[in-house]
Amino acid sequence: MSQLFTSLQIGRTTVRNRVVMAPMTRSRSDDEGVPSDLVALYYAQRASAGLTITEGVFPTALGKGYVRTPGIETTAQIAAWQKVAEAVHAKGGRIFMQLMHCGRISHPSLLNGATPVAPSAIKPAGQAWTPIGQVDYETPRALSLVEIAEVIRSYALAARRAIDAGFDGVELHAASGYLPEQFLSSNSNQRQDLYGGSVQNRSRFILEVLDAMVDEVGAGRVGIKIAPEMNFNDISDDTPVQTYSSLVEQLRDLDLAYLHVALFKPGVDYHGLLRKRFKGPYLAGGGLDKLRAESLLAEGRADAAVFGGAFLANPDLPERLRLGAALNTPDKNTFYTAGPEGYIDYPFLNETIVA
């Protein structure tokens, strides 16, 4: 039997297979960051994943970066996420919440007029998705040392709320050009204090956030996602191999639930480079198909495989992979729309056969 369909211990959680659902923003929350009732059904449909990682959830209102994205701060937000956790567990699934602070990848119209924050006051190229459409990003405000401590605490509190809402764990989103990667990367961090300059200093924010989350909910309930050289949201680093090697070596002794590495750029063998530097479960993702996923596991280069778009369009993806069945094609036009179309209406395999 393929290793994809064997169980795995991830922190405190035993998962029934090694097919992981990637975190994917779907924009099905209201303007207050409260997930709609459709969200619980969406994740329950996909609960056959060994582990489901939710879309990015802002830990504090200042971390919101897109329209109709969810938070985990208010009573209403927490109550909605509790329904999601209950729905997934009722199907026998396991679910982690991804915590995503967008930092400078935001806009005042999403933050009740506040200026987005970042390690340094450097305006990113590109446009924000706002209630009035796409608009140019603005120059962010550099966080003070006191404010950095407050943001770190907000991650810990968000982790606690997620666990109290019934989630099995939380994932720190340290990729895609959002706040943790803004601190890590040389083009977005030009600080002259203990959070800037050397690779060790630029790693400090991520490590302190993880320490705070671990202190709050335990290391076995905390994972992290990174994506070396993804370069999304105008992020780049002068020495990425050195930066990510150093970061992962510093993660080694934290006993985290897992390291999730998404790769989208050919070139450096980051899985080979980073897998040996991390002693816990290693989740590999980034455009995988079944053959590539099985190869990574068989070669010992990963412990589980993370699938994104395939899971979006195939709620029963593990079964389809097991049988070698055809896959539904995701509709890009409905990735970020507000309703059920392209969200909860993709057919299961048995429905496809009947049709």
Has 270 been annotated as catalytic?
A: no
Q: Which residue has the higher pLDDT, 114 or 352?
A: 114
What does each C-alpha distance from 242 to 2, 206, 236, 249 come to in angstroms?
34, 16, 13, 11
Q: How confident is the model at residue 353 (pLDDT cuts 50, 70, 90)?
A: very low
**Predicted confidence (pLDDT) per residue in 8-50, tens digit:** 999 999 999 999 999 999 999 999 999 999 999 999 999 999 9
Instruction: Look at the chain and report how many structural domains it folds into.
Output: 1
DSSP state of 306: E
Q: Which of 42, 66, 155, 178 is catalytic?
A: 178
319: which 2 tokens?
């079964």
Q: Are strands 141-142 and 258-262 parallel, antiparallel or unpaired?
A: unpaired
Q: What pLDDT is stored for residue 267 in this prediction?
A: 87
Q: Any idea what the CATH number is for the domain that residue 38 is in?
A: 3.20.20.70
Mean pLDDT in residue range 320-330: 96
**Predicted confidence (pLDDT) per residue in 144-184, tens digit:** 999 999 999 999 999 999 999 999 999 999 999 999 999 99
53: which 2 tokens?
């990682």
Distance, in Å, from the CA atom of 213 to the CA atom of 248, rounded to the nearest integer, reads 17
pLDDT greater than 90 at residue 105? yes
Mean pLDDT in residue range 102-128: 97
Q: What is the mean pLDDT of the chain?
A: 96
Q: What pLDDT is stored for residue 185 in this prediction?
A: 98
Distance, in Å, from the CA atom of 351 to the CA atom of 345, rounded to the nearest integer, reads 11
Q: What pLDDT is stored for residue 266 in this prediction?
A: 84
Distance, in Å, from the CA atom of 62 to the CA atom of 107, rounded to the nearest integer, reads 10
| HEC secondary structure over 198-267 | CHHHHHHHHHHHHHHHHHHHCHHHEEEEECCCCCCCCCCCCCHHHHHHHHHHHHHHHCCCEEEEECCCCC
Mean pLDDT in residue range 231-256: 97
pTM: 0.97
Structural domain span for residue 16: 3-354
Q: What pLDDT is stored for residue 350 in this prediction?
A: 81
Mean pLDDT in residue range 256-265: 96
Residue 136 parent element (H or E): strand 133-136
CA 51, 54, 56, 61 torsion-angle sign: negative
pLDDT greater than 60 at residue 355? no
Determine the Cα angle at 148 with ends 145 and 154, to 5°: 150
Mean pLDDT in residue range 75-80: 98
Q: How confident is the model at residue 131 (pLDDT cuts 50, 70, 90)?
A: confident
